[in-house]
Amino acid sequence: MRVPFIAANWKMFKTVHEGVVFVKEFRSMVKDISDVEIVVAPPFTAVHAVAEAARNSVVGVAGQDVHWEREGAFTGAISAGMLREAGAEYVIIGHSERRRLFGDTDETVNRKLVAALGSRLTPIVCIGETLEERERGETLAVLDRQIKAGLDSLTGEQVASLVLAYEPVWAIGTGRNATPLEAGEAHGHIRNRLRQWFGAPAADHCHVIYGGSVKPDNIHEIVVHPDVDGALVGGASLEVRAFFDIVARSRQSTV
């Protein structure tokens, strides 16, 4: 059975000191929670310090992006091996902000995904449609394209180990989130495509989570759907109590 997976994406917030303070307080709050997989994704500058602060706790650490090459003349980039050495166990790939602002495509997502798996990082792969695509009725076709191209050449066993984050672009940072019906439809479609293209074990083991204006007061109605396994949390993850409440309330669908 898949346990809830809750990840905090801090984006370009928190200094090293602020990240360490957060984790030291947060780890004591969740020390008795064993039925939720919890991850925080600090800026690159804080990955090592936050990983050290989270050591021997239930809190895992993710990078917010990764390059597909092991090394080279790629100013400003970071490799999967570097993230792993810094203490990361996970990495976010293909976030809509990376796609929209920095030119990530389904093809580069695939290259990053392969590199992450090669360095024993668990990828958190983001997919989702824009408002214009949803209004044109293209949501499911967009998800098909992103899954097919983004996961190209992966085996069923590799797909089983992934986290797929459905994040409708129109819901990120807007305060507007998909209704439980909309989220459930998208997640059900994703699960069916995984089963069709990669096999039942992949579909049954891959975490499919929701991202987009997730808050303590709406997390339960999102994760109560059987195909929604958790959440990728942005703004609400910046405050310790709010993020703890999201983690705690995500358990209500399984306990």
Active-site option among 67, 95, 187, 189: 95
Contacts of 68 (CB under 8 A, 6+ apart): 108, 111, 112, 114, 115
Query: How many angstroms separate the CA atoms of 58 and 52, rounded?
Result: 13
Active site residue 205: no
Instruction: Quote the radius of gyration of the chain (alpha carbons, Å).
Output: 17
Long-range contacts of 68-77 (CB under 8 A, 24+ apart): 68/108, 68/111, 68/112, 68/114, 68/115, 69/115, 70/115
- Angle at which helix 139-150 crosses helix 180-198, to 10 degrees, equals 40
Which residue bears the tokens 């990053």?
112
Active site residue 95: yes
The whole-angstrom distance between residue 38's C-alpha and the CA centroid of its chain comes to 11
Q: Residues with catalytic annotation? A: 95, 167
